[in-house]
A and B are shown apart, each in its own frame.
Chain A
């Protein structure tokens, strides 16, 4: 697989729903060995990791009721909450377009979803659908219409 080919499958994988790495593994497997390649690469990525995740969860379950585990949870909740907020910031950094005017619009869309969910109780699914509609209509253009040179 050439670097150009990899760049293309990577770009396609970023359009997938769910976990992009699964899409990337599937696309690479498909190029290398057809549908059997898809099965092998996706199974190779997911099954061992899922087994380890289940094992860790089961192991945690053995100690979850202990007072020490409860105390640890008081520190884990803010940490996972903070990680979730950072993930949001990373998502904006990865998807917001170049150029100040576009970037402001993009950040405003994210802020609107936050306000809609927190202050107005807009259901999650409605906020996502609105983001999809606004995006398809208005957020596709990467460069400013007034300039011919790509920005950033």
Chain B
């Protein structure tokens, strides 16, 4: 895929989302649905993003690399970095306006809609390769509970998933 086009796709997802993983529904719609990326690659990118250091939203750098090599990773990094920084000049020029109820409501509305879309995306990933087996459903539920509680490091949750796959996935 043309790196510039990839940059636009990643920029769109980053600029229209609120918070790290929130770009996922948009990226899945723009990359997986037209066949540019696979759900397998999305799963790998999220897993690597959780194991790696830095913000969770950096999974898009992994996805960029899988889709477009080093150039794709660079585009994803630029796309992850620039949109959040609009808040720096905005805070300097219009701090009072940013802290109004209307802006708070807009951000809340986007975040809540994205949350609903993330549930749809999560279900889509679980069922991406056909009807999941019983142990896969149990694994998804356990991973959701562990992530929600946040007491176990995500890398361990990923390791549990990989181990369960090795034990039961053949």
Interface contact A91-B114, CB-CB below 8 Å: yes
Candidates B19, B77, B86, B145; contact of A86 at CB < 8 Å: B145
**Of A17, A109, A125, which is in contact with the most chain B CB atoms at under 10 Å from its CB?**
A17
A14 to B14, CA, bound (A): 14
Asked if A140 meets B136 with Cβ closer than 8 Å, knowing A38-B88, A91-B118, A118-B123, the reply is no
Identify whether the interface residues of B are mostly helix, strand, loop, or mixed: helix
Asked if A80 meets B161 with Cβ closer than 8 Å, knowing A12-B87, A12-B91, A56-B51, the reply is yes
Candidates A49, A90, A112, A127; contact of B55 at CB < 8 Å: A49
Interface contact B43-A19, CB-CB below 8 Å: no
A64 to B38, CA, bound (A): 14
A22 to B57, CA, bound (A): 10
A112 to B12, CA, bound (A): 23
CB nearest to A12 among chain B residues:
B91
A interface footprint on B128-163 (CB within 8 Å = 1, 0 otherwise):
110010001101111111111010001001101111
Interface contact B116-A117, CB-CB below 8 Å: yes
Total count of chain B residues near the partner, CB < 8 A: 110
A interface footprint on B116-131 (CB within 8 Å = 1, 0 otherwise):
1111111111101100
Cβ of B66 within 8 Å of any chain A Cβ, yes or no, is: yes
Interface contact B104-A142, CB-CB below 8 Å: yes
Asked if A53 meets B109 with Cβ closer than 8 Å, knowing A75-B169, A85-B144, A118-B120, the reply is no
Cβ of B6 within 8 Å of any chain A Cβ, yes or no, is: no
Asked if A128 meets B117 with Cβ closer than 8 Å, knowing A17-B86, A46-B81, the reply is yes
Please classify how large the interface on chain A is, using the bins under 10, 10 to 19, 20 to 34, 35 or more.
Answer: 35 or more
Identify whether the interface residues of A are mostly helix, strand, loop, or mixed: helix
Q: How far in angstroms is the closest Cβ of chain B from A15?
A: 5
Cβ of A7 within 8 Å of any chain B Cβ, yes or no, is: no
Asked if A52 meets B120 with Cβ closer than 8 Å, knowing A22-B80, A75-B169, A131-B112, the reply is no
**Of B121, B145, B163, which is in contact with the most chain A CB atoms at under 10 Å from its CB?**
B121
A contact set with B: CB distance below 8 Å: 9, 11-23, 26-27, 30, 38, 42, 45-50, 52-54, 56-58, 60-61, 64, 67-68, 70-92, 94-97, 106-107, 109-118, 123-125, 127-128, 130-142
B contact set with A: CB distance below 8 Å: 14-26, 28-29, 39-40, 42-55, 57-59, 61-62, 65-66, 70, 73, 77, 80-81, 83-88, 91-92, 95, 98-126, 128-129, 132, 136-137, 139-148, 150, 154, 157-158, 160-166, 168-170
